[in-house]
Amino acid sequence: STQSTWEAVVSTQSTWEAVVSTQSTWEAVVSTQSTWEAVVSTQSTWEAVVSTQSTWGTSPYIYPCWGLGGLPEGFSRLAAVHGGVYMLRRPISKILFNDDGTARGVVSPDPEDETGEKMEEAFCKQLIGDPSYFADTDKVQKVGQVAQWLCILGDKPKGIEGDSAQIIIPGVEFKRKNDIYVSLQGWGLQCAPQGRYIAMVSSNVETADPRAELAPALQMLGSIIEEFFFVRDVYVPTNKDAKDNCFIASSMDATTNFQSVTREVMALYKQITGKDVDLTADAATLGQES
């Protein structure tokens, strides 16, 4: 009887060893799968960078000449072509809502009224806006702050060969949770006179002294002619499941590569139209009329 019991114990032990061995094998498989997924993701990213670089010249980044102001200018022209109405440099005093909570328009001061009391209304079926317009509503939530240091440089930072550059300083270099981003533009992008450069240093605020947080990045910029420091709040929308006809973007983050902005634009497009953005294109035929 004792021998049978021990045999049963040994048999049970062998079974458990087999289970443990099988579990270890599956954990190894899952780990390998995660590694391959990371490899494939990295490979896709590099392929996108190489493809873009071969299309647009010596840089994988696309930046509008004369600065980002070219983007709203292009939007305004496109709106005019399609019969749209746009108002530039017009503050929004109030957002109009229907009784059911859906947005129906905005109120803006009449620029020709010197008293500032006369208001004009513009109506819409869908309202797409920056979160700052909704800051006093329950449709957005403040999640942090971004510090930015805009600098006019008398020369390029040491080690920079081209006319523009993007520098990412890992947060661990200065015992920070967030990286510090530096975007540099010069004459080649029509953002500064010849011999001058524009540098924007930015990062998420982590302490009560954001200037001190970005100070190490300024030391690498070199000759600073003028500087402008500011801190802005960061908001995210909280109404994505609401049927209020308001489509709100998140505030711009501290990154300088526009990847997060691009992802959000694509998400907003799907939220509004119900369709994914189709960006499939053949690099060999870009710019050709279809």
Render 182-247 in DSSP notation, one character per residue. Answer: EEEE-GGGTSS-TT-EEEEEEEE--SS-HHHHHHHHHHTT--EEEEEEEEEEEEEES-TT--SSEE
CA pair distance 220, 218, nearest whole angstrom: 5
Q: Which residues pair with 182 in a beta bridge?
A: 167, 201
- Each of the 290 residues of the chain gets a pLDDT tens digit; together they read 666 655 655 565 666 666 556 666 666 655 666 667 767 667 766 676 566 555 555 555 667 777 778 888 888 888 889 888 777 788 899 999 999 999 999 999 988 888 888 999 999 999 999 999 998 889 999 999 999 999 999 998 888 888 888 889 999 988 999 999 999 988 887 888 998 999 999 999 999 999 999 998 998 998 899 999 999 999 999 998 888 999 999 999 999 878 888 899 999 999 999 999 887 767 677 666 55
Element (H, E) at 29: helix 2-56
- Whole-number pLDDT of residue 244: 93
Handedness of CA 85, 91, 96, 101 (dihedral sign): positive
- Whole-number pLDDT of residue 98: 94
CA pair distance 42, 46, nearest whole angstrom: 6
CA pair distance 132, 146, nearest whole angstrom: 14
CA pair distance 124, 127, nearest whole angstrom: 7
Residue 247's Cβ-count burial label (10 Å; 0-12, 13-18, 19+) is middle
- Whole-number pLDDT of residue 104: 94
Measure Cα distances from 42 to 28, 52, 65, 168 in Å.
21, 15, 30, 18
- Side chain identity at residue 26, one-letter code: W
Contact call for residues 240 and 222 (beta carbons, < 8 A): no
Element (H, E) at 12: helix 2-56
